[in-house]
Amino acid sequence: MRDSSAPPVARVEVVREERFGIPLADPYRWMEAEDGELAGWLSGQGSYAASRLAGLPGRGAFLARVEELTAATTTDSAFRLAGDRVFFQRQAPDTDVPVLMAAQGQTTRVLLDPAALAGREHSYLDWYVPSPDGRYVACGISQGGSESSTLRVLDADSGALLPDAIPGTMLGAVSWLRLPAGEALLYHRYLDPPPGAAPDQRRRDSRACLHRLGATAGDDLVVLARGVNPLVPLSPADRPLVFATGGSDWLLALISHGSLSGTLDEELSDCTLYVAPRAALADPVTCPWRRVAGPDDGVTAYAVHGDDLYLVSHQDAPRSRVLAVSMAAPDLGAAVVLPGGDRAVAAVKVIGGHLLVHERDGGLSRLRRVPLGGGEPSEVTLPVAGFLGQWTVHPARPEAFFTLSSWIHAPRLYRYDGATVTDTGWLPPSPADFTGIVVSDLRAPARDGTLIPLRVVHKDGLKLDGTSPAILSGYGSYGVLPYWEFAPEMLAWYESGGSYAEAGLRGGGEYGREWHEAGSGPRKENTITDFIDCAEYLVGHGYTSPGRLAGEGGSAGAIPVGGALVRRPDLFGAVVLQVPAVNGTRAEFSENGPVNIPEFGTVTTEAGLRDLLIIDCYLRVADGTPYPAVLLTVGLNDGRVAAWQPAKMTARLQAATTSGRPVLLRVDPHAGHGFGSTRAQRAGLTADMFAFLMHELGPGPSSLTQPSLTRP
């Protein structure tokens, strides 16, 4: 009988191989089969971690405070404008997952409550796209946080779900168009893989289709797929996304060769763009697609207006510029609407006769307005120095909504009419009182002299004597900028005397494509050493000390954090790795692995293998090393990072460490990568993390004995 006071020990079966003369040894390769043995081991690990975490001093107090802070906050997000309606998602104190709302005039009502849908696990609204007139809403609904969306259509007048149901639509690549026979949808879907397909073969040969409301998915017209049209060559791993934009007679095809952001028109990479007349959609085989740009042209965002396509491109502009292209005669050299500058251009949208350009300056958001025909740009004065979390424009009116927030200021929703910015007053103020919490905007020198953006949140008057427990987080991949959002639950950490810092690591998008490229491929080591150098900066300037510093990273954020763990275990008292990508040399053999090859590399080439060895912290774990305390998490419905990645890392650390500090694997069988988690799941995870860190790092100068929420 297994000792319940210790985690189960993983069987060791070393797989040895040699690639390009480089020997590789993997003691837990068997976990990749994801069979009953792994399931049993994960169950035992999860039970052990749950018992240890539940017994931590302060865990109950943290949970109560996090629940108080989050349950008292109403969060509205994902605004969309269509017809006379404003659509948005709302998480109110009495809802566990966000509901879909519609506002029209003075009336606001619930359109869809995912919690009311039947299923074996909780349902979640992953994405939604309203029709231009606001009559219908395409919704992506999944269960258990899996993000495996099924497309459903909602009648916004009646609130009824129509019979239409299309599985495999996790990307949310949907657009509406009106045909003579009625409303229709362009959408992208993955097909069900054949029985026994290897994980890396399960998302092959996806397709763009046309669906008429009321038809069955089996009758849908395949608009674009591998082998359909000779003008658009596709590999099995390519994702063809086809969009129709209101007010334009043109179609846009975005062929994604790599990973995608959630918005599908921003933070793009490794894509090819084609255009074709909308009238040619009826015959996919002969549709005259014309290539506009390829991966080498560096297009990262776009906007469509009439016959024109506006592109954000980093070609010949390290921090990107904006180009105007006629879809009738596409030529990337035709017109530069906004030349490159010191700021990084993130995205563009059309409002009236102008382009609204979102730029980033070390992470902070800026907006400029540029005439469509070219001319002098003008600054749009923003009421808050913060982060633009979301923005949307009306398809027919010169109207835009956007939110601004910071780590200590709750988001506000603003309306822009092309001339002035006004606070809508829509979003209620958060009852979480961040008075006395400040942000220090720093620049930490990397070992090569590059200044790394480093923002530290802490109590005002923090003594820089090294006694404060601190969390340092970072991401640094895909050229994206993690949204430094307002999180009311973080107040529980600050009240306990803790600090939180986020490093803008190379490999991310803080300064555009040049910042991304400085932390990519053979330069990926910069992402990891930047994190280490920021940690040393915090220690050297008295914000914390090695025994009181925690590294925290999730998903690809585990590359710098896990990399720092195995290179400098002496620098941290604890580490948290959430749904972590830690075994880069094996990632491409997982379901989501092939699309990440352009970002991280492939073991099929020597250069790619060497790049992957930089980010593979699992293979760098060394026996006999006194590692700090480590908390890893896994969601068993995760479709982005396979469960065997954190499982293998946990087993390896437990076998190798000599410190006597815990290595715990927190297992949630009803969660995925985190995007579709319920309020209760998020609160439980946050409380576990705070209690674990405060126990391992030592309490801060303040306790959690705080008054109730202060309501402004």
Look up residue 711 and give its amino acid: R
Of the ranges 418-432, 549-563, 641-655, which one carries the lowest mean pLDDT score?
A: 418-432
Of 533, 502, 511, whose CA–CA distance to 439 is shortest?
Answer: 502
203, 190 contact by CB (below 8 A): yes
Tens of pLDDT, residue by residue over 173-223, are 999 999 888 899 999 999 999 999 999 999 999 999 999 999 999 999 999
Of the ranges 169-178, 333-342, 463-472, which one carries the lowest mean pLDDT score?
A: 333-342
Q: Which two tokens stand for residue 183?
A: 């409303």
**pLDDT at residue 407 is higher than 90:** no
Q: What percent of the chain is modeled with pLDDT above 90? A: 83
Of the ranges 88-92, 284-288, 554-558, which one carries the lowest mean pLDDT score?
A: 88-92
**pLDDT at residue 710 is higher than 50:** no
Q: Which helix (H) or strand (E) holds 685?
A: helix 679-697
Kindly tell me the burial class for residue 628, based on how many C-beta atoms sit within 10 Å of its own C-beta (0-12, 13-18, 19 or more): buried
Angle value at C-alpha 248, between 350 and 424, nearest 5 degrees = 35
Tens of pLDDT, residue by residue over 490-536, are 999 999 999 999 999 999 988 888 999 999 999 999 999 999 999 99
**pLDDT at residue number 5:** 80
**pLDDT at residue number 481:** 79
Give the relative orientation of helices 606-615 and 525-540 as an angle to the nearest 10 degrees.
20
Kindly tell me the burial class for residue 131, based on how many C-beta atoms sit within 10 Å of its own C-beta (0-12, 13-18, 19 or more): buried
pLDDT band at 707 (very low <50, low <70, confident <90, very high): very low
**pLDDT at residue number 35:** 96
**pLDDT at residue number 703:** 43
**pLDDT at residue number 593:** 95
Q: Which helix (H) or strand (E) holds 109?
A: strand 107-112
Please tell me whether the overall predicted TM-score, pTM, comes out greater than 0.75 for this model: yes
3-state class percentages of the chain: helix first, strand second, coil last, to nearest 5:
25, 35, 45
187, 211 contact by CB (below 8 A): yes
CA dihedral (254, 260, 264, 269) positive or negative: negative
**pLDDT at residue number 671:** 96
66, 52 contact by CB (below 8 A): no
* Distance separating alpha carbons of residues 23 and 37, to the nearest angstrom: 27
Residue 326 CB contacts under 8 Å (≥ 6 apart), including other chains:
307, 308, 309, 334
Tens of pLDDT, residue by residue over 623-657, are 999 999 999 999 999 999 999 999 999 999 999 99
**pLDDT at residue number 347:** 93
Q: Where are the beta strands (DSSP E) in 460-521?
A: 470-474, 499-503
**pLDDT at residue 49 is higher than 50:** yes
Residue 3 CB contacts under 8 Å (≥ 6 apart), including other chains:
none
* Distance separating alpha carbons of residues 637 and 668, to the nearest angstrom: 9
Of 276, 260, 257, whose CA–CA distance to 268 is shortest?
Answer: 260
Mean pLDDT over each residue of the chain, to the nearest integer: 93
3-state secondary structure 548-616: HEEEEEEHHHHHHHHHHHHHCHHHCCEEEEECCCCCHHHHCCCCCCHHHHHHHCCCCCHHHHHHHHHHC
**pLDDT at residue 376 is higher than 50:** yes
Q: What is the mean pLDDT of residues 555-565?
A: 98
**pLDDT at residue number 702:** 53
Higher-pLDDT residue of 653, 703: 653
Q: What is the dihedral of CA 295, 297, 299, 303, to 10 degrees?
A: -120
**pLDDT at residue 704 is higher than 60:** no
**pLDDT at residue number 509:** 87
Cα 565 to Cα 572, 621, 647, distances in angstroms: 8, 9, 17
pLDDT band at 709 (very low <50, low <70, confident <90, very high): very low
Of the ranges 11-25, 314-328, 564-578, which one carries the lowest mean pLDDT score?
A: 314-328
The number of angstroms, rounded, from the C-alpha of 83 to the middle of its chain's C-alpha atoms is 29
**pLDDT at residue 705 is higher than 60:** no
Q: Which two tokens stand for residue 4?
A: 């319940």
Largest CA distance in the chain: 76
Q: What is the mean pLDDT of residues 33-59?
A: 97
**pLDDT at residue number 374:** 75
**pLDDT at residue number 708:** 37
pLDDT band at 663 (very low <50, low <70, confident <90, very high): very high
**pLDDT at residue number 701:** 66
**Distance linking the first and last C-alpha atoms of the chain:** 56
409, 358 contact by CB (below 8 A): no
Tens of pLDDT, residue by residue over 130-144, are 999 999 999 999 999
pLDDT band at 694 (very low <50, low <70, confident <90, very high): very high
Strand pairing partners for 657?
Answer: 625
Q: What is the mean pLDDT of residues 346-365?
A: 90
Of the ranges 234-248, 275-289, 563-577, 696-710, which one carries the lowest mean pLDDT score?
A: 696-710
* Distance separating alpha carbons of residues 107 and 125, to the nearest angstrom: 22
Q: Which two tokens stand for residue 639?
A: 């479709």
**pLDDT at residue 3 is higher than 60:** no
* Distance separating alpha carbons of residues 462 and 137, to the nearest angstrom: 49
**pLDDT at residue number 655:** 98
Query: In which residue are the tokens 């949907």 written?
Result: 174
Q: What percent of the chain is modeled with pLDDT above 70? A: 97
Residue 60 CB contacts under 8 Å (≥ 6 apart), including other chains:
none
